[in-house]
Amino acid sequence: DRANGPAEITSFVLAIIAVVFGGFGLVSLVLPAVGRTTPGTVVMSPVILAIGVAAGVALFLTVRQIRRRRRRPLTSFTPV
């Protein structure tokens, strides 16, 4: 067992957060350029986008850790 379960679940959750927050943040940043804006949009857009980008970076690091663990030979892991 390579013990990837928690890391794989974390990567899935981070992917969902990155897509949702990144998408909403990007759309809310584009709306003022089109002319549709609300008072809270200008303040919250960068914050929401930053959360999405941070989740994307964390996702990249988690997936890199999973790939590194999968490349190791099975003999290097402690038997269960």
pLDDT of residue 9: 96
Q: Is residue 78 part of a domain?
A: no
| Burial state string for 45-80 with b = 16 or more CB within 10 A and e = fewer than 16 | beebbebbeebbebbeebbeebeeeeeeeeeeeeee
Q: Is residue 76 part of a domain?
A: no
Question: What would the two tokens of residue 80 be?
Answer: 């269960």
Number of domains within the chain: 1
- The tens digit of pLDDT for each residue in 19-67 reads 999 999 998 888 887 777 777 777 888 999 999 999 999 999 999 999 9
Longest dimension (CA), the chain: 61
Q: Is residue 42 part of a domain?
A: yes
pLDDT of residue 1: 62
Distance CA 38, CA 32 (A): 8
- Range of the structural domain that residue 9 is part of: 5-71
